[in-house]
Structure 1
Amino acid sequence: MATSVSSTVEYASLAQIQSAQQGIPADEFFAVAKQTGISQEKLAALLEISPRTLHRYQREARNLNAKESELLIKLSLLLKRGEIIFGSTDAFTAWLFEPAYGLDRQVPFELLYTSEGVNVVADEVERIAFGDLA
């Protein structure tokens, strides 16, 4: 999922949207898990699919469905942007698992189960990038 990182919220490109519609390879899931250090179990839970099924998809060279693909692409973009804003993957991942002041003390990771939740967290990351912590 090669994308250019901009100084503002990064949106999926047309190519990424088309990839999501066709389904992205299960290998992408494991790449995101490895890059972020988020456990496969926690990341798989966001996609509402078991790690065992993902491993089977990987062995069979199968693609994720469109909804799983879309959410994984959005998560990947968010994680890349968060790494830039927070200075490291570890710092951003740690933030994801702590109550966030700008999200009414909700844990950001708990909002990532839906596409709109990813948008809310991405908006908060951008507010942090511009120093708006309120």
Structure 2
Amino acid sequence: MVCRALGISERTLRRWLHEPSAHLKPANGERLLRLIAISAHAEIVFDSGAAAERWFTVPAMGLDRQVPLDMIKESADYEQLAAFLVRLEYGVYQ
């Protein structure tokens, strides 16, 4: 899930985790922060980490059938995703 959200390979992620000198590019760091924030919010909305993780990987009708995880890469898409989660939280679907 992290690799897909950041747009990196699993090999790159392993290198970042195992090499102290490896650094995130600013864009990847920003995406990682978005993923952390939206994941925490999704866990609250869905009352479960597993349910939130499933939601991230399937096209959502309220997001024009986009996969939520793919919307973390771009700032405008992320804002739309965050707003959609707030609407779900409060029961406002339109």
Task: Normalising by structure 1, report the TM-score.
Answer: 0.62
Does residue 70 (structure 1) correspond to residue 30 (structure 2)? The answer is yes
Find the counterpart in structure 2 of residue 3 from structure 1: none
Deviations 1:59-87 (A, max 9, x none): 22122111110110011000001101110
* Structure 1 stretches of at least 4 aligned residues deviating more than 4 Å after TM superposition: none
Find the counterpart in structure 2 of residue 24 from structure 1: none
Question: Could you tell me which amino acid in structure 2 is paired with residue 92 of structure 1?
Answer: A
Find the counterpart in structure 2 of residue 101 from structure 1: 61
Any gaps of 5 or more consecutive residues in structure 1?
1-37
Within 5 Å, give how 1:49-64 maps onto structure 2: 49-61=8-20, 62-64=22-24
Structure with the largest fraction of helix: 2
Question: Could you tell me which amino acid in structure 1 is paired with residue 9 of structure 2?
Answer: S
Distance 2:24 2:47 in 1: 30
Find the counterpart in structure 2 of residue 89 from structure 1: 49
Any gaps of 5 or more consecutive residues in structure 2?
none
Find the counterpart in structure 2 of residue 47 from structure 1: 6
Q: Root-mean-square deviation (CA), in Å?
A: 1.6
Provide the identity percentage.
Answer: 33
Contact kept, 8 Å, 1:75 with 1:118, in 2: the verdict is no
